[in-house]
């Protein structure tokens, strides 16, 4: 088993890179804070005898040699970037849990046939650079490296320039790395495990998800002297569409979700009727056909409302990740590990996207969930119990070792 | 009459301070661009033999002596600050039109009994620092100087610090300046004069206006893994209230207007259910009792929707400027001037707030409107005809001289 105390110390120690007064983390991808935690990752992995490299997307790989070095590595991983007001566990538990696994192997002198690698994926959150899981996506061939490097944040900074800026653009071509299997430990980010008093979620797959960018263009005008009938108010129609996203999700069954998380209003001045609004929509459901139906309902309402208001409408689907089923063997390894360790467990579908979503396209993959308080994530108050985090890392260790012996 | 060619040149020349690629101006109050245009104003007025000073709120006064120096000055004025994406005419026509009047007096050697003063008011737009007309408000005793100096912009910069920063905090106490009468030339910012082919609007008063700040607090959470029923989405309720503002205005008669121009969504990330939204509401009507009714309707809906959504609601009325009637004698002077010059004119109530709104509380006041294309203002495409601007300045000159002879 892993050293749970050291794992918890690592969580608290790295939480200072981008730590916020409210106890959360603001460590957006490819910022100075991201660089700091990457440097820490290199030192921590090297101290355990690993060799650390990074590829052309900045993904970091810490490698512990196997006895059969021609075998592809069994990999573990997640991400160290966070939301603007993120917590201390989302992604971090998977990377530092993997580090705890490496530590146990190192300290017990345990030999494995396969090399074991721990991966820190770049820009998983999709908050600074959309979409999410951008670099595991390039790794899996879902996005080209060029389109990823050319992705811009909302201030217009190129991903490629930001990556060079923190000194983490490597020479190894992203995706040129063989992988025998991939395991990702993560907090659930939802309420189910906690409510059902389960320590381990045996993740069988990830639901389907799509992102959209919507721009409504009307006409800036004076809030005091422009009669209501002469306005082309982009914000009023955006508001009705934000309401529509909510209603559409509620009308499409118990699992469907729909969210507007990002909105930019221009010129954003109290006495100016807004002429230009940009916002982003997120629809998800375990059933891709329901995501498709929500998209159709949204497109129809957007066209209708924009036309009625005399606005120009642009909609683009900027991300489409169909539902994913993980590898039955890897899922079984996770289930057996939880069982052998005596942890209460249940099968679960992930509501959040993870790097495992894309890794499943190129290697046998599964995930391990542990509970988080109130199912709360993407929140500075995100919280998890040390014992649960340790349990997850123990399951990870055992699933990796079982896979190595297969 | 004034030199219309030189007046138009001044408009184009000053438009370069903060000039935008789309032909508008971004010259927010107390920024470097504002400093530049203030320095230009000092030089231009001094070149016409005026003495230029500024008071403790940064209001600038260019003074041309009268033959009876004990008489209080007859004043003209408006503002040189703009919206973030403002036009070349809003406010500017009033200051540079006043400059054209001073030029005519100077070049013709015309003597007046009263000193004549031209005022450039600080932070009229209310875009960087809310509310609008902040410094004429202090001048008129509507706000205390201390509360004005302590006003912060949305980045937290204090008005007083920004004023010191551009070097325009003067020693004369704001409001300690005697005024015999105040005339303000401005573009209409609405459609009426253009539609009715009138060159001059004889402004009889300003409608009532109120501003509100609304904060909705819910809980940040994950857009993928938080079931719809577990959310406390502040943006969805904000959206419904933005819609409500629109509906309330439409239901309160033909003159009522309601606008949400400013919204800040936090953390504003695509895959985070927003936990915190701030927005500003603007309600106006020529009849204060209708403004009151709109406020009551909005407060009721805000409480109801916030409670239904499990959100915390804070609302504050941050500005309340009742409808204002200008001085009958000053209005008559404007009307006689338009008539004598042969300009088609009509009486009109201002939909926008102006420094004249507050000056009317401390001195006989009136305003002169000229048309702007399509009634469009607070827009980079704001446009006015040189002949109309010249006509407005001619009316201003004549109204000032008539008042001097009264
Ligand atoms: N795990 C996680 O929060 N990923 C972010 C991508 C998403 O699901 O929106
Ligand atoms: N004239 C003008 O645009 N003033 C700004 C104050 C307001 O009416 O909102």
Residue numbers in A near B273 (CB within 8 A): 259, 261, 378
Alpha-carbon distance A383 to A87, whole Å?
Answer: 7
**Predicted local confidence at residue B406, as pLDDT:** 86
Interface membership of A284 toward B (CB under 8 Å): yes
Task: Say if residues A345 and A398 touch (Cβ distance below 8 Å).
Answer: no
- Contact residues for A76 (Cβ-Cβ < 8 A; gap 6+): A94, A97, A98, A101, A116, A117, A118, A119, A182, A183, A184, A185, A396, A400
Task: Say if residues A296 and A362 touch (Cβ distance below 8 Å).
Answer: no
Please list the ranges in chain A whose pLDDT falls under 70: none
Q: Is B125 in the pocket of ligand 2 (CB under 6 A)?
A: yes
**Please, is A254 exposed, middle or buried when counting C-beta atoms within 10 Å of its C-beta (0-12, 13-18, 19+)?**
exposed
Interface membership of B214 toward A (CB under 8 Å): no
Task: Say if residues B373 and B228 touch (Cβ distance below 8 Å).
Answer: no
Task: Give the distance (Å) from ligand 2 centre to CA of residue B354.
Answer: 6
Residue numbers in A near B126 (CB within 8 A): 270-271
**Predicted local confidence at residue B55, as pLDDT:** 98
**Predicted local confidence at residue B232, as pLDDT:** 98
Q: B104 to chain A, minimum CA–CA distance in Å?
A: 32
Query: Measured between CB atoms, which of A130, A243, A268 is closest to B240?
Result: A243
Phi, psi of B221 (to 5 degrees): -160, 175
Among chain B residues, CA nearest to A276 = B261
**Predicted local confidence at residue B74, as pLDDT:** 98
Q: B397 to chain A, minimum CA–CA distance in Å?
A: 26
Alpha-carbon dihedral of residues A30, A36, A39, A43, nearest 10 degrees? -150
Phi, psi of A181 (to 5 degrees): -165, 160
pTM for the structure as a whole:
0.96
Task: Say if residues A106 and A118 touch (Cβ distance below 8 Å).
Answer: no
Mean pLDDT (whole number) for B363-370? 98
> Quick check: B263 and A235 CB within 8 A?
yes
Question: Chain A interface, mutation test: which of B28, B244, B267, most A Cβ atoms within 10 Å?
Answer: B267
Task: Give the distance (Å) from ligand 2 centre to CA of residue B347.
Answer: 19
Assign B31 a pLDDT band (cuts: 50, 70, 90): very high
Alpha-carbon distance B160 to B166, whole Å?
Answer: 10
Task: Say if residues A387 and A394 touch (Cβ distance below 8 Å).
Answer: no
For residue B59, what are the CA distances in angstroms to A4, A306, B130, B174, B176? 65, 43, 17, 8, 12
Question: Chain A interface, mutation test: which of B127, B244, B259, B324, most A Cβ atoms within 10 Å?
Answer: B259
Q: B58 to chain A, minimum CA–CA distance in Å?
A: 22
Omega within 30 of 0 (cis) for the link into B404: no
Q: Running DSSP on this structure, what letter comes out for residue A158? A: B
**Please, is A12 exposed, middle or buried when counting C-beta atoms within 10 Å of its C-beta (0-12, 13-18, 19+)?**
exposed
Residue numbers in A near B23 (CB within 8 A): none
Identify which of A267, A275, A277 has the alpha carbon closest to the alpha carbon of residue A233: A275
* pLDDT tens digit sequence for B133-151: 999 999 999 999 999 999 9
**Predicted local confidence at residue B390, as pLDDT:** 98
Query: Measured between CB atoms, which of A242, A261, A274 is closest to B223?
Result: A261
């Amino acid at each position: 088993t892993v050293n749970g105390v050291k794992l918890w110390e690592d969580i608290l120690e790295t939480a200072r890179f981008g730590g916020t007064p409210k106890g959360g983390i603001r460590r957006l991808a490819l910022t100075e804070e991201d660089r700091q935690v990457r440097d820490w990752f290199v030192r921590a992995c090297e101290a355990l005898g690993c060799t650390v490299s990074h590829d052309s997307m900045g993904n970091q790989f810490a490698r512990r040699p196997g006895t059969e070095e021609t075998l592809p590595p069994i990999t573990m991983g997640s991400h160290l970037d966070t939301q603007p007001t993120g917590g201390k566990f989302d992604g971090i538990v998977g990377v530092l849990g993997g580090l705890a696994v490496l530590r146990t192997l190192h300290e017990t002198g345990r030999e494995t046939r396969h090399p074991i690698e721990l991966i820190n994926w770049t820009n998983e959150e999709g908050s600074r650079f959309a979409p999410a899981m951008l670099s595991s996506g390039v790794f899996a061939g879902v996005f080209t490296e060029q389109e990823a490097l050319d992705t811009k944040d909302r201030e217009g900074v190129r991903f490629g320039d930001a990556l060079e800026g923190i000194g983490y653009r490597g020479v190894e071509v992203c995706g040129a790395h063989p992988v025998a299997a991939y395991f990702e430990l993560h907090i659930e980010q939802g309420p189910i495990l906690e409510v059902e008093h389960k320590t381990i979620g045996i993740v069988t797959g990830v639901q389907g998800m799509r992102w959209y960018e919507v721009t409504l263009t009307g006409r800036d005008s004076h809030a005091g002297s422009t009669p209501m009938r002469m306005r082309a108010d982009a914000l009023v129609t955006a508001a009705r569409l934000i309401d529509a996203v909510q209603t559409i999700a509620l009308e499409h069954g118990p699992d469907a979700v729909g969210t507007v998380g990002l909105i930019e209003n221009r010129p954003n001045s109290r006495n100016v009727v807004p002429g230009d609004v940009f916002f982003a929509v997120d629809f998800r459901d375990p059933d891709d056909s329901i995501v498709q139906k929500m998209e159709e309902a949204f497109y129809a309402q957007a066209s209708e409302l924009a036309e009625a208001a005399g606005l120009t409408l642009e909609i683009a689907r900027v991300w489409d990740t169909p539902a994913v089923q993980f590898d039955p063997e890897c899922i079984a390894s996770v289930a057996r590990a939880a069982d052998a360790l005596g942890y209460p467990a249940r099968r679960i579908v992930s509501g959040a996207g993870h790097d495992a979503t894309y890794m499943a396209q190129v290697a046998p993959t599964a995930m391990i969930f542990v509970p988080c308080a109130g199912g709360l994530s993407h929140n500075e108050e995100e919280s998890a119990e040390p014992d649960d985090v340790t349990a997850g890392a123990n399951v990870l260790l055992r699933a990796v070792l079982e896979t190595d012996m297969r």
